[in-house]
């Protein structure tokens, strides 16, 4: 964009923000219950439809299970139902409708081919109780995915079972605890966690009964080996570290840090949520990590906004292998007619089962598809993710203060230094982005940066969409200087204007009945 067109865009924006993506601003649309008219039907059962012989005598339902009155369902036509649900889907923000620059939680485009494979009936319609011989394809896919993840991690053993990163942390720490216990080393009840860590890290440690020793990061945002050495002793079970860390910086001294923990008898857990930055470039097992999780729904692309389903497989080294969850997927003996089997029995030291059946199997199908699609091009993902983040850092650095100077990895952290004195907060900037059709980045995290604004563009955004984001961030900065009230009141161009976030989180109104009760408490 040349200077002239940029300032034209900026002036327009000062008057009236452009709703670049139609967000379906239909506040006054009657809700589906209000559209209801007695007798309207989208679908009717005829007498013939009713005339079905029961195949077997059904189970007798007790009186108490029978409905006394008809369900209070809206009576509407088929198009009204279709419009209702389609409209609801449009009120959502999604990676398929716009840029989603969350830091830490990789939100990349989810290739549609993943969905096609996950819907293949041979995968989608499997029952988890099928005998091994009837689900060889699924077992083989999981076995292969384990091998691929182990290769990327540089750690030879893998369990797919944990359902998300947080559960991977829990399971990995259970393995560390079991390892120390098995050696009769019972005095280790602490875990070291840097202050830049994601909240799930100390939470998982505490959930496992460990107490947490927090260590502060350096001025350059990394962990100082000396700081680890000072707290490492025979009461420490291990260290949890994220690399690259949540400030988007690679922990340069990771090998020395691992050596210090190992020399003190501990194990090192790596939070792999940021693997998008180092795929095929650096392997955690090679730089000293004992156990790590992948967030396959982030790094290997599965739709996961709104809470799941996810996958948090863990990979471990030989020391921790005996403790991995069961069942394991194993190759049957050479002369067996079955190739893959589920083994529950031969792992007496296992921490047991952490998830029903196999975890979220269809997430594995998507992750496997994604990995096979890239194949040996996997490192390109990380190259582009890192270039994109550095492009945003370089282009925004004039206006927004970059918290840790120098090159970043896949994400970049800004803070509120440059705009605080204008009376504008990080929250205001984030809310104003909504007016321009962008999902806000992660804000006020990491906790060790004041007014943090953390951006991870991922490799899937084009130069054009990055430029649009930069232009908008520049426009918002000018607004902050010239008419900060626009930011204070933002968003105004969205389905909902600024919420009371505490009430929204603590007392959410999630059903039509709740809404009615709120508006008419006597009902
Ligand atoms: C997302 C994330 C987690 C938690 O992973 P879930 O899959 O959401 O449970 C942990 N650590 C970091 C750094 C993350 O970004």
Strand partners, 190: 211, 236
Which distant-in-sequence residues (6+ apart) come within 8 Å of 78 by Cβ? Answer: 42, 43
272 C-alpha vs ligand 1 centroid, how far in Å? 8
Which residues are bridge partners to 402 per DSSP? 414
CA distances from 278 to 126, 153, 380 (A): 34, 10, 10
Please tell me the predicted confidence (pLDDT) of residue 326: 95
Task: Give the contacts of 251 (CB within 8 A, at least 6 positions apart).
Answer: 222, 223, 241, 243, 244, 245, 257
**Residue 358 to residue 360: CA distance in whole angstroms:** 6
Give the residue, by CA position, lying nearest to ligand 1 atom 6.
Answer: 165
pLDDT at 339 over 90: no
Alpha-helical regions (H) of 59-135: 78-91, 112-118, 121-124
Asked whether 204 lines ligand 1 (CB < 6 A), one says no
**Using N-to-C axis directions, what is the helix angle for 463-482 and 378-396, rounded to 10°?**
20
Tens digits of residue pLDDT in 428-460: 999 999 999 999 999 999 988 999 999 999 999
CB of residue 359 inside a 6 A radius of ligand 1: no
pLDDT given for residue 19 in this prediction: 42
Best CA proximity match to 104, nearest among 276, 256, 224: 276
Please report the pLDDT score of residue 93 as a whole number.
87
Distance 106 CA to ligand 1 centre (A): 9
Q: For residue 135, what pLDDT band results from cuts at 50, 70 and 90?
A: very high
Q: Is 287 exposed, middle or buried (0-12, 13-18, 19+ CB in 10 A)?
A: middle
Instruction: Give per-residue pLDDT as tens, 62-110.
Output: 888 888 888 888 999 999 999 888 888 888 888 988 999 999 889 999 9
pLDDT at position 4 is 38
More confident residue, 18 or 135: 135
pLDDT in tens, 234-289: 999 999 999 999 999 999 999 999 999 999 999 999 999 999 999 999 999 999 99
Residue 82: burial class (beta carbons within 10 Å; 0-12, 13-18, 19+): exposed
Atom in ligand 1 nearest the alpha carbon of residue 197:
13
DSSP structure string for 311-370: ---EEE-GGGGGGS-SSEEEEPPTT-S-SEEEE-SS-TT-----SSBTB-HHHHHHHHHH
Rounded to the nearest whole angstrom, what is the distance from the C-alpha of residue 75 to the centroid of ligand 1? Answer: 43
**Ligand 1, atom 14: nearest CA belongs to which residue?**
273
Which pLDDT band, with edges at 50, 70 and 90, does 55 fall under?
low
Assess contact for 475 and 400: CB atoms under 8 A.
no
Instruction: Give the pLDDT of residue 30.
Output: 76
Gap from CA of 39 to ligand 1 centroid (Å) = 49
What is the average pLDDT score of the chain?
90
Beta strand 211-215 pairing with 442-443:
unpaired
Dihedral, CA atoms, 79, 82, 86, 87, nearest 10 degrees?
50
pLDDT at 58 over 70: no
The pLDDT, as a whole number, for residue 127 is: 92
User: Which atom of ligand 1 is nearest to 295's Cα?
Assistant: 7
Both tokens of residue 212? 């947490």
Confidence of residue 337 (pLDDT cuts 50, 70, 90): low
What CA–CA distance (Å, rounded) separates 152 from 285? Answer: 9
Banded pLDDT at 336 (limits 50, 70, 90): low
pLDDT of residue 314: 98
Q: What is the largest CA-CA distance in the chain?
A: 80
Per mean pLDDT, which range of 87-96, 135-144, 183-192 is the poorest? 87-96
Provide the pairing of β-strand 267-271 with 236-242.
Answer: parallel
* Atom number in ligand 1 closest to CA 167: 9
Looking at the predicted structure, is the pLDDT value of residue 11 above 50? no
198 pocket-lining for ligand 1 (C-beta < 6 Å): yes
Cα of 243 from ligand 1 centre, angstroms? 13
Residue 316: CA count within 13 A, CB half-sphere: 23
Report d(CA 23, CA 91) in Å as an integer: 6
Q: Atom 5 in ligand 1: which residue has the minimum CA distance? A: 165
- Residue 424 clears pLDDT 80, i.e. is over it: yes
- Going from the Cα of 294 to the center of ligand 1, the distance in angstroms, rounded, reads 9
pLDDT score recorded for residue 377: 97
Question: Mean pLDDT across the stretch 471-498?
Answer: 94
Q: Is the pLDDT of residue 466 over 90?
A: yes
What Rg value do the Cα atoms of the chain yield, rounded?
A: 26
What domains appear along the chain, each with residue ranges and CATH number? 19-91 (no CATH), 132-372 (3.40.640.10), 380-492 (3.90.1150.10)
d(CA 175, CA 322): 9
Residue nearest to atom 3 of ligand 1 (CA): 165
Model pLDDT for residues 342-390, shown as the tens digit of each residue: 888 889 999 999 999 989 999 999 999 999 999 999 999 999 999 999 9
CA of 161 to the centre of ligand 1 (A): 16
């Amino acid at each position: 964009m040349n200077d002239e067109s940029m300032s034209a865009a900026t002036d327009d924006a000062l008057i009236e923000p452009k709703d670049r993506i139609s967000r379906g601003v239909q506040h006054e649309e009657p809700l589906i219950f209000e559209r209801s008219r007695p007798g309207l039907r989208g679908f009717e059962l005829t007498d013939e439809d009713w005339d079905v012989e029961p195949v077997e005598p059904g189970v007798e339902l007790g009186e108490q299970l029978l409905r006394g009155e008809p369900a209070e369902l809206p009576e509407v036509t088929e198009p009204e139902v279709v419009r209702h649900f389609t409209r609801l889907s449009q009120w959502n923000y999604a990676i398929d409708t716009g840029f989603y620059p969350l830091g830490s939680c990789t939100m990349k485009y989810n290739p549609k081919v993943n969905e096609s494979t996950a819907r293949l009936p041979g995968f989608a319609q499997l029952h988890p109780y099928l005998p091994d011989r009837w689900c060889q394809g699924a077992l083989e896919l999981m076995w292969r995915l384990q091998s691929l993840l182990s290769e990327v991690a540089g750690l030879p053993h893998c369990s797919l079972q944990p359902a998300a990163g947080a559960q991977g942390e829990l399971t990995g720490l259970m393995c560390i605890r079991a390892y120390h216990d098995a050696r009769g080393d019972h005095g280790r009840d602490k875990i070291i966690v840097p202050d830049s860590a994601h909240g799930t890290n100390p939470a998982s440690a505490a959930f496992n009964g460990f107490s947490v020793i927090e260590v502060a990061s350096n001025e350059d945002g990394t962990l100082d080996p000396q700081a680890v050495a000072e707290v490492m002793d025979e009461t420490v079970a291990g260290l949890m570290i994220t690399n690259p860390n949540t400030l988007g910086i690679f922990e340069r001294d990771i090998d020395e840090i691992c050596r210090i923990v190992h020399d003190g008898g501990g194990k090192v857990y790596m939070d792999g949520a940021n693997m998008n930055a180092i795929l095929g470039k650096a392997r955690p097992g090679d730089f000293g990590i004992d156990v790590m999780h992948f967030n396959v729904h982030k790094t290997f692309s599965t739709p996961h906004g709104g809470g799941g389903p996810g996958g948090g497989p863990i990979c471990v080294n030989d020391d921790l292998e005996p403790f991995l969850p069961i069942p394991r997927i194993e190759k049957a003996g050479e002369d067996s007619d079955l190739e893959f089997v589920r083994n529950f029995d031969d792992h007496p030291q296992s921490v047991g089962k952490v998830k029903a059946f196999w975890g979220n199997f269809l997430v594995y199908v998507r992750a496997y598809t994604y990995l096979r699609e890239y194949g040996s091009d996997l490192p390109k993902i990380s190259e582009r993710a890192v270039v994109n983040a550095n492009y945003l850092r370089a282009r925004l650095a004039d206006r927004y203060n970059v918290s840790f100077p120098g090159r970043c990895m896949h994400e970049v952290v800004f803070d509120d230094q440059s705009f605080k004195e204008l009376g504008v907060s990080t929250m205001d900037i984030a809310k104003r982005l909504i007016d321009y059709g962008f999902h806000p980045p992660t804000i006020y995290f990491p906790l060790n940066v004041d007014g943090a604004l953390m951006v991870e563009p991922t490799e899937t955004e084009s130069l054009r969409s990055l430029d649009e984001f930069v232009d908008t961030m520049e426009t918002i900065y000018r607004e902050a200087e010239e008419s900060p009230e626009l930011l204070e009141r933002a968003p105004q161009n969205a389905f909902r204007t600024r919420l009371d976030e505490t009430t929204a989180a603590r007392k959410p109104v999630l059903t039509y009945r709740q809404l009615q009760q709120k508006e008419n408490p006597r009902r």
